Structure 1
Amino acid sequence: MAKRKISNPLALAVLALLIERPMHPYEMSSTMRERAKEESIKLNYGSLYSVVDSLQRHNLIEVHETVREGKRPERTVYAITESGRTELVDWLSELFAAPVKEFTQFEAALSLMPVLPPDQVARLLSTRRMRLEAEIVGTRAMLAEMANRGMPYLFGIESDYAMTLREAELRFVDRLIGQINDGTLDGVDVWRRAHETGELPSETDWAWAQQAPGKLRKVD
């Protein structure tokens, strides 16, 4: 994947907005919030101004005009440049075509799971399970309401994607809880004994022959 001068997804959203028409940052922010884009792209006003400045420095956007409404301070309206249009198309095309490694907080927690006792992890996962279910139900209801109002599915596709990921996570969490509770999770006996005795597992207990994904196996 090509290394880009700007990689913040908020910059991508700004370029996409300016394809529609020139805007000032406040209008960009309010438009993204009206369209619930903050559900998919981290948005705050301070970072938005930083992104706009960076896009301008890299000649991806330019000042279109400066306007004043009544006694309000002047506002700078920005427009996308030809370089910005090219960057937008290339960037989006790359994101659609090439999967990338995303470091999620839940994956980080899973990688450090043995720090907590197995039964505690199972209880915490049960709490997570309830919250996942509630989130899925809420998203499903929102998508149904959008459909009832005649809104195109296209406008909610990112919510459907997020819900699909949550559904997959829920299935994973269900399986993991079951494996911890019934003792079928490979390595759970070593994990449990370590917390019961307060002794760290031996190198033999935690030795692995391969570290490549899909090739992990415990050494006998």
Structure 2
Amino acid sequence: MPPRKVRNTLALALLGLLLERPMHPYEMASTLRERHKGSTFKINPGSLYDTVESLAKHRWIEPVETVREGNRPERTVYAHTELGRQEFVAWLDELVREPVAEYPKFVAAVSYLGALGPERAADALEERARHLTERIDGAETALAETVGKGAPRLFMIEVEFVRHAWRAELDWARRTAAEIRSGALPWPENF
């Protein structure tokens, strides 16, 4: 399979939004924020507009109209092209089916946890557990707010997934910190 012309995951988010209806970039950004997608996609105006330009350049989306509301500037509304819809579905199918190595920073750091020494390692894991608890609480609030406003659960399914992953990480961090503190996880002499 030839390399995909657009690989930015923000493009995936924008293409997904355009399945619902044509939108202008400002509306895309607002919708992503309303749905708490900031933990899934890096959303900033510059990269969003660059991504829209790239999608249009590759003919995955196209302008369908220009609108003006009140004194606001004109805004270009975009929609999928047939090619864009096909590419989006193929890309999505590939991402769901095939696990890829993502090289998370935390896993890299855990591989050298021993260098922190037992006390500092346990402290770091316990602090991470506190941060994870906050994120889990935030995800639960986001789910309740968004689904409570009538958005379909399917629009927030990745938040459910991330919440479950964070819970698993939280359990691991707490258990490992407890093993370090109790001495059940032996520490090598040379650390």
Q: Output the TM-score relative to the length of structure 1.
A: 0.75
Which residues of 2 match residues 160-171 of structure 1 at below 5 A?
Answer: 160-171=160-171
Alignment check: 8 A CA contact 1:15 1:80 kept? yes
Question: Quick check: 2:35–2:156 contact (8 Å CA) kept in 1?
Answer: no
CA–CA separation in structure 2 for the residues paired with 1:23 and 1:156: 19
Check conservation: 2:24, 2:77, Cα contact below 8 A: yes
Q: Is 2:99 the counterpart of 1:118?
A: no
Query: What is the identity, as a one-letter code, of the residue corresponding to 2:49?
Result: Y
Q: Is the CA contact 1:10–1:48 (under 8 Å) kept in the aligned structure 2?
A: yes
RMSD: 2.6
After TM superposition, give the deviation of residue 79 of structure 1 in Å.
1.9
Aligned CA distance change for structure 1 residues 152 and 31 (closer, same or farther; 3 Å): closer
Q: In 2 relative to 1, CA 143–3 (structure 1 residues): closer, same or farther, beyond 3 Å? A: same
**2:50, 2:23 → 1: CA distance?**
16
Confirm or deny: 8 A CA contact 1:67 1:77 kept in the other structure: yes
Give the TM-score taking structure 2 as reference length. 0.85
Per-residue deviation, 1:82: 0.8
Partner residue in 1 for 2:89: 89
Instruction: Give the superposition deviation at 1:148.
Output: 6.9
* Deviation for aligned residue 1:31: 1.8
Deviation at 1:39, TM superposition (A): 3.0
Task: State the match for 1:44 in structure 2.
Answer: 44
- Choose 88-97 or 68-77, whichever is displaced more: 68-77
Per the TM alignment, residue 183 of structure 1 is displaced from its structure 2 partner at its CA by 3.2
Match of 2:29 in 1: 29
Aligned to 2:177: 177
Show the 5 A alignment for 1:70-219. Answer: 70-140=70-140, 143=143, 152-185=152-185, 188-190=187-189, 193-194=190-191
> What letter corresponds to residue 78 of structure 1 in structure 2?
Y
Q: Give the 3 Å change call, closer, same or farther, for CA 46–148 of structure 1 in structure 2.
A: closer
Aligned-residue sequence identity (percent) comes to 49
Any gaps of 5 or more consecutive residues in structure 2? none
For 2:33 and 2:98, the matched residues in 1 are separated by 28
Equivalences for residues 64-75 of structure 1 within 5 A: 64-75=64-75
CA distance in structure 2 between the partners assigned to 1:148 and 1:112 by the alignment: 43
Query: Relative contact order (alpha carbons < 8 A, sep ≥ 6): 1 or 2 greater?
Result: 2
Residues 144 and 118 (structure 1), Cα distance of their counterparts in 2 relative to 1, 3 Å cut: same
Q: Which has the larger helix fraction?
A: 2
Greater CA deviation, 104-113 or 148-157? Answer: 148-157
Distance 1:55 1:150 in 2: 29
One-letter amino acid matched to 1:162: V
Counterpart Cα distance in 2 of 1:168 and 1:124? 17
Q: Is the 2:132–2:166 contact (alpha carbons within 8 Å) kept by the matching residues of 1?
A: yes
TM superposition shift of 1:102? 1.9
Code of the aligned partner of 2:135: E
Deviation of 1:100 (Å): 1.6
Number of residues of Structure 1 aligned to a counterpart in Structure 2: 191
